[in-house]
Structure 1
């Protein structure tokens, strides 16, 4: 039994694929009808790339592999929350905010800052709680809780990355404020990574993904872990890799947002 059997056994998420195709079609139609304008030619490319990456990460059979160990899971989660949102935000058409007076304009600016900082703080708290072993096991046992929880994290991630990835953000955040936001983002997301890194220095946490009930939520019963991943990680090493992977991919997301703003404006 090999990884090919997993890819055949697991169904592709066709409804999600259709939804993403509709987004691309809508984007094209609005552009043809001149209902939206793009800042650069790279924006449509970034849109398609971000949607393809999202589908491969969430909707393809490859997503099942992330449930075999912490490091694979953290890489998947980090791509979904730290790479895809800034790419998608940067691919979005230019939005125009019109205000009738300066007072309303000031209120909007204050609200945008409060909204993004609040989203960052809430995301960090929920993301930290999600990776506590007890909370993770509980969430994975109940899809009615797990799916809304992950969707909420994904929505918060867009607000969290908006000040750094959106061209419109310069109205509300100057360069100094953006640097502070980057520092704040790195600091408050650190605890979620440190759960795994600190645990790796001790005896390691119980591995919730290897729980028989939880694993069968995403993996066919006929597929064994060693059939898909022909090597096994020591629990401590696995958790160490998971923590450092999150730190690294988050750093890549920050660099990516800065690069896109500099070279795609």
Structure 2
């Protein structure tokens, strides 16, 4: 296995400042569910151990993908790039949504300011918006432009992150009374997401040639590496030749594997969430059939 420590510095691999930012987010989380809840919402239910693990785990994954080694690896191989995308937009959002107690969401989004944006939370809009932005990003010309223009890169990733939360809100709504979909509609919504993501995955998996200059053209790759390395990165071309130095697969094989990873993570995550929705539905439908513990 390639030892990245031989070629990149500690700061390039681990991004300490981003790590500190994520630690601050976790500290804020425990303040909100602890002292802040006790002072302002003493009657609200405490966060469960499961919620704490979900939130902290979600923030840890955010760090790995956008500040840790997966971020750098995603600029070296397309497979890791798709691992990054899969975790960031299909795994992290439901973890954070379900990890943050409902009273926090109510406090944040109950203000009048958010009412003017309520139309954006229409399930059809969130469904189309996320999948459109995700698929559009994987058009080769768009992908290479985003990867080599760092302001656009940051802005696009932030927008994609927000729209992924908007989409997942319909499926894993953390505030029961705000949910717009019944359990059956939520399951249909999950299925629709899977269908809409399929064309982008198919384009990548079945393409017979390299689609992205970021992973096939050394000059473009060196420019893209500037996102996770300071200073002039043009020396990378003469030192390593290109991203193939860090990859044992051919460019097309790496590309195909990346598409497969994306599709598999999507199917796994949607399968898990379908089971979660079905179990909730089953419990509600059969709540009246359960014996009353006081009369049993």
TM-score (norm 2): 0.73
Is 1:204 the equivalent of 2:214? no
Determine whether 1:66 maps to 2:82.
Answer: no
Q: Which has the higher contact order (CA 8 A, sep 6+)?
A: 1
Give yes or no for the alignment of 1:120 onto 2:130. no
Counting matched residue pairs gives 249
Q: 1:167 to 1:137 in 2, by over 3 A?
A: closer
The CA distance in 2 between the partners of 1:37 and 1:56, in whole Å, is 31
| Segments ≥4 residues shifted beyond 6 Å | none
Q: Deviations over 1:158-182 (max 9, x none)?
A: 1111122234357422111111101
- Looking at structure 2, the residues matched to 38 and 195 of structure 1 have their Cα atoms a distance apart, in angstroms, of 46
Q: 1:189-225 CA deviation, whole Å, 9 max, x = no partner?
A: 11221120231xx233244234232234435645734
Equivalent residue, structure 2, for 1:102:
none
Bigger radius of gyration: 2
Select which of 31, 51, 65 maps to 2:59.
51
What are the Cα deviations for residues 118-157 of structure 1, in whole angstroms up to 9, with x where unaligned?
1221111111111111111112221111110110000000
Counterpart position of 1:247: 263
| Residue among 236, 244, 249 paired with 1:233 | 249
SS at match of 1:68: coil
Report what 1:8 is aligned to: 10
Q: Check the 8 A contact 1:164/1:258 in 2, yes or no.
A: no
Root-mean-square deviation over aligned CA pairs: 2.9
